[in-house]
Amino acid sequence: MNGKKNMKKVILFSGLIFFLIILSLKAGELNYTPEKPQKGASITVSYKSNENFKSGEQISLYIYCFYHGEKTIEGFETPMTYDINEARFNATFQFNQKTIFALLKVGNGKKFDTHQSEYWQVLLYGTDGKPLRGANLNCAVSFMGMLPQNVSRIVYFDKAIEYFQQEIALYPDNIQAQIGFASLNFDMRKITKDEFDAALKKIILSGFDENNEGDLRAVVRALRTLDKNDKAQQLERKFIENHLQSDLAEELAMAQLAKTNNLKEFSSDVQKYLKLFPNSPNRERVFSALVSGYLQDDRYDEIFTVLNTYADVPPSAYVRLAMAFLDNAEKLSEKQIKRNLGKSLDILKFSIEEARKLDYQYKPKHLSDSEWKLSKMMEYANILKIDGQVNHLAGNIDDALKYLNESKKIFETNTPPDLYLELIETYIETYNDSIAYNLASEAIIDSKNSKETDSYHKILFDSLNFKGDYKNVYDSLSSLGKKKRLIELADEQLNISVSLGSVFSLLGKELKFDSLKGIVIVIDLWSTWCGPCKESLPAMDNLYSLYKDSTNVVFTSINVWEKEDGKERLENIKKFFGKSDYDLPIYVDNSNVLPYKLGATGLPTTIYIDKKGIIRFKDIGYVNADFLMNASDKIDFLMKK
C-alpha cells in the first residue's frame, strides 16, 4: 500500500459538516383552535395529509416558539394521533407563558410538511383581543431569512413589511419594529437615504429601554448606520456590565477571542469564555479555533493534553486534531506515516466516544428532541466514515469495513459519495467485486456517484463478465436516479407569485418579465464583488449552453447590488468579465430592488420560475458538486409541467 498517496486522499474527506436532512413534502391542510390563543393557552391542531403520510403513521407536530425579549427560539414536538373517522391527525400543545409567536410543521422525523416552506404561524393574544407585544414583530423577522435551517421560513420581504406595520400600529413605541420597518423600506428603495437617516434619528431620540437587549441591539445598529460608532460601543459596554451572560455579552466575547493573537492568552481566554458561557451554541467553533491555534504552532501533543482538561469536548475538535496528523504526508517517511496513523486512530476513539453522548445541556434550543438526535446521529455517522477511511489507510481492512458499513447504515439514502467510493475501493481490495459493483450501481441510482465511482462501475461490469451493452445498463441506472430526483422535486416546490418588472442588457435593451409568460425563467443574481459568483458564472454559462436552443426556457443573469451606477457600473461589469467568452445573457438591475422581490438574502442566488410566473425553486449560494445535474433537474421538471 502506498501510504503517502492514500493519506493525501483521505484529507479531502476530513471536514465535518453537521446538518439536518430535511425532505419537504406537498402541503397538507392544517387548522388549529382557538384561532386566537391567549398567552399560556393550549391549541388543538388538526392536520389532513396530502398523501404525505399514511393513515396511522407515527408523525409529530413540531412547534417553534418565539419568546418576548429573547433572541433564541425554542423547538418542541408532540406526537399526533390519527382519527380514522375524520382521516386527520390531531395533537394538543400548551404554550408557556413566554411565547408570543410560533411556527408549526408536521413530520415523521425525516420527511416534513412545511406548508411549502412558509410554515403555519400562530400569534398569541392578550385578554384585550390584540396580538401580544412583539408577536407581529417576530412574524416579520421570520420572513427575513434569518432563522435556523430546521425552521427556515421562506423569505418574503413584502410580508415582513406588512407585519412590521401591524406591530407599529398596535405598539407605536416598539423601537425594534420601527427600526426594522425603516431599514427594510430603505433596502427596498421605498425611501431615500436622507429619509432613512432622518427616520433613524427620530426613532433614537424617542427613547428606549437600555436594559432591553432587543431594543438596545436595534438602536446600536441604527447608530452604526449613522456612523455614531462611539455611542454604539458605549451603549454595548454599559449593557454588558449589567448583563454579563447576555447574548450580546457572548457575541462580543467571541469577537474578542477572534482578535487574540497570542496562543497563551487565547487559551486562557477560551477557559474564561467557556466558564462564563458553558452551554454556548458556539462551543464547537471555540474548540475548533483552540485546536487550530495549537496546530499552527506545531504543538500537536500539547493540545491533546489541553483538551483532556475539559469535560465534554465536541467530537469535531478531536477529529480536527486526528486529521492534522495526516497532513503533509508527502514529506514524511513510511515510519512516520505509520506512527501518525496510529496517533490519528487513537484520537478518533475519543471523537467516537464523545459523539455517542446525548448530553441535553448542549442541545441547541431551536432543535426539537428528535431533530437534535438526528443531527447527532449524522455527526456520529460522519465520524465513523472518517474512522473507516483512516483504518483503510492503516491497512486495518476489517475495522475499515466495520466502521464504513456502520456509517452507511446510519446515513441510509443520504450516504455521501465519498463513503460509497471508500466502500467500493475497500471491497475491490478484498476481492469482493460483486459487492463493490452493487454499491456502485446503488450510488448511481441514488445520484451519489462520482467520476471515480462510475469508472469502477464500468471496470467491475467488465471484470464480472456481465452480458449486454454497458451504456444501456448505465443509462438505465441513471434514468432511475433522475426519476427519483424529480419525484423529490415535486414535493420541494415553492409557491410564490411575483411581479418582477424589467431589467436591461449591457447594450441598454429592456427585458420585461411580463412578456415571458408561458416560458420557464431561470434568474441568476450576481455581483462583481461577490467571490463565489466568479465560480458560479462559468457554471451557469455551461448550464445555459445546454438549453440555449430551447424556446421553452429563458436565462437571465442579472447584476445586482453594485455601488456604482450608470456608465461607471457598466464599465465595471465589462472589466469584471475581461476577455471571458460568455454566451450567457447578462442584464443589469439598475434599481437594485429585484433581489428583494425574489427574496434573495445572499449571492449568488438562482431562481426558477414556472410557466405561470410562480417561483418554484430557489438556490442561495453555489456548490460546484452536482450543480449542473441539480439545476437541469429543476429546469426539466418545470418544462414538463
Q: What pLDDT score does 15 carry?
A: 42
**CA gap 174, 260 in Å, rounded:** 37
Grid coordinates given for 573:
461589469
Structure confidence by residue, pLDDT tens digits, 362-418: 999 999 999 999 999 999 999 999 999 999 999 999 999 999 999 999 999 999 999
* Residue matched to cell numbers 506545531: 298
The yes-or-no verdict on residue 2 having pLDDT over 50 is no
In one letter, which amino acid is 450?
S
Q: Percentage of the chain with pLDDT > 90?
A: 89
Tens of pLDDT, residue by residue over 484-537, are 999 999 989 999 999 999 999 999 999 999 999 899 999 999 999 999 999 999
pLDDT at 7 over 90: no
Grid coordinates belonging to 239: 449593557
CA distance 323 to 419: 17
Contacts of 234 (CB under 8 A, 6+ apart): none
Average pLDDT, integer, range 569-595 = 93
User: What does the DSSP 8-state code read for residue 556?
Assistant: E
With 80 as the cut, is the pLDDT of residue 272 above it?
yes
DSSP 8-state class, residue 585: -
User: What φ, ψ does residue 212 adopt, rounded to 5°?
Assistant: -95, 110
Each residue's pLDDT tens digit, 203-260: 999 999 999 999 999 999 999 999 999 999 999 999 999 999 999 999 999 999 999 9
Backbone angles phi, psi at 343, to 5 degrees: -65, -40
User: Read out DSSP for 567-592?
Assistant: HHHHHHHHHHHTT----S-EEE-TTS
Tell me what pLDDT residue 55 has: 86
Task: Give me the domains of the chain, ranges plus CATH numbers.
Answer: 415-492 (no CATH), 496-640 (3.40.30.10)
Closest CA to 624 of 561, 501, 533, 505: 533
Flag whether pLDDT at 616 surpasses 50: yes
Helix (H), strand (E) at residue 65: strand 60-67
Contact 38, 424 (CB under 8 A): no
pLDDT score of 23? 60
122-147 tens-digit pLDDT: 999 999 999 999 999 999 999 999 99
In the structure, what pLDDT confidence band is assigned to residue 329 with cuts at 50, 70 and 90? confident
Can you tell me the mean pLDDT for 598-608? 97
Return mean pLDDT, the chain: 94
Q: 496-497 and 614-620 as β-strands: parallel, antiparallel, unpaired?
A: antiparallel
Q: Name 42's bridge partners.
A: 94
Interatomic CA distance for residues 133 and 126, integer angstroms: 9
pLDDT tens-digit series, residues 15-59: 444 444 556 666 799 999 999 999 999 999 999 998 889 888 999
DSSP 180-222: HHHHHHHHTTSS-HHHHHHHHHHHHHT---TT-HHHHHHHHHH
pLDDT the model gives residue 22: 55
Number of H helices, E strands in the chain: 23, 18
- Provide the β-strand partners of residue 101: 66, 123
